[in-house]
Amino acid sequence: MNSKITIAIDGYSSTGKSTIAKELAKRLGYIYVDSGAMYRAVALFAFQQKWIGTDFFQVRSLVENLKHVSITFVYNAELGFAETYLNGINVESDIRSLEISNYVSRVAAIPEVRKLLVSLQKEMGVSKGVVMDGRDIGTVVFPDAELKLFMTASPDTRAKRRFDELRARGEEVTYQAILENVIYRDHLDTTREDSPLTKAIDAVEIDNSQLTREAQAKTIYDLTLQILRKNN
Ligand code: CDP
């Protein structure tokens, strides 16, 4: 089986997209790209420049300065995945804070931001052999992806997962604040005008509220093998 495919994983926040995408990429020897990290890096950039806050957003300043944003991924062998760099600085941890989560969906709704990041994402996928997760991967970035997954889970399950994750990293957060962020981002991501989060008609929907990580990994790996066999 030597012809590589493209795998697009979309879905709501904290549905475990990145966990399954990383596992799958590792098993297949593919490249994993976290498109959300790119939107988070732009949100961090806007935040560092003081262009975004709870009640303000200087969209024009951000758009005019997008040329000064350089996002790269550098593989960390110890962690087993690529970390996100913004203008040469490792921001892997900073982009995951609740504060950046609270700003990112407003930044991701800006058409100029999407245009820039989508073109970078398309470039990363030209040689196939890529697993990319996000919100518009199967609909906009790789509409021809051979395998498209759409992940869902109840808001409670997702907030609980994100709460455990942030607490484990030592961030002082409340469950209620996380739940509000999850619901707020779902709303912005599904209602924005430019490439809203929606299930591609040919995507396989997986609700993992009740699925163990192992059961989910097996279902998705089996689906991938079926497609690889058909393609060869
Ligand atoms: O980790 P989580 O699923 O919560 O979010 P993420 O994948 O890190 O994405 C953060 C935010 O970036 C999302 O809530 C979207 O607003 C935006 N995003 C997007 O608009 N398009 C993508 N392809 C990926 C993320």
Q: What architecture is the 6-224 domain classified under in CATH? A: 3-Layer(aba) Sandwich (3.40)
Start-to-end CA span in the chain (Å): 6
pTM for this predicted structure: 0.95
Contact assessment for residue 8 and residue 145, using Cβ atoms and an 8 Å cutoff: yes
Whole-Å CA distances, 124 to 45, 142, 215: 22, 11, 29
Ligand 1 centre to CA of 14 (Å) is 9
Ligand 1 centre to CA of 4 (Å) is 25
| Spatial CA neighbour of 183 closest among 194, 171, 193, 175 | 175
Residue nearest to atom 20 of ligand 1 (CA): 108
Rg (CA), the chain: 17
Q: Which ligand 1 atom is at minimum distance from the Cα of 188?
A: 16
Choosing from 13, 101, 181 the residue with most ligand 1 atoms within 8 A of its CB, the one to mutate for a pocket test is 13
Give the Cα separation of 87 and 41 in Å (integer). 10
Strands 89-90 and 204-207: unpaired
Give the Cα separation of 185 and 182 in Å (integer). 5
- Structural domain boundaries in the chain: 6-224
Ligand 1 centre to CA of 135 (Å) is 6
- Tens-level pLDDT at each residue, the chain (232 residues): 568 999 999 999 999 899 999 999 999 999 999 999 999 999 999 999 999 999 999 999 999 999 999 999 999 999 888 999 999 999 999 999 999 999 999 999 999 999 999 999 999 999 999 999 999 999 999 999 999 999 999 999 999 999 999 999 999 999 999 999 999 999 999 999 999 999 999 999 999 888 888 999 999 999 999 999 998 7
Q: Which ligand 1 atom is at minimum distance from the Cα of 11?
A: 3
Q: Which pLDDT value is given to residue 209?
A: 87
Ligand 1 centre to CA of 28 (Å) is 24
Task: Compute how many other C-beta atoms are within 10 angstroms of the C-beta atom of residue 218.
Answer: 12
Give the Cα separation of 144 and 100 in Å (integer). 31
Q: Which tokens is 69 given? A: 């944003």
DSSP state of 230: H
The length of the chain is 232
Residue nearest to atom 23 of ligand 1 (CA): 134
Pocket around ligand 1 at a 6 A CB cut-off: 13-14, 17, 35-36, 39-40, 104-105, 108, 134-137, 185, 189
Give the Cα separation of 167 and 173 in Å (integer). 7
Whole-Å CA distances, 231 to 1, 101, 203, 224: 8, 38, 18, 11
Ligand 1 centre to CA of 136 (Å) is 9
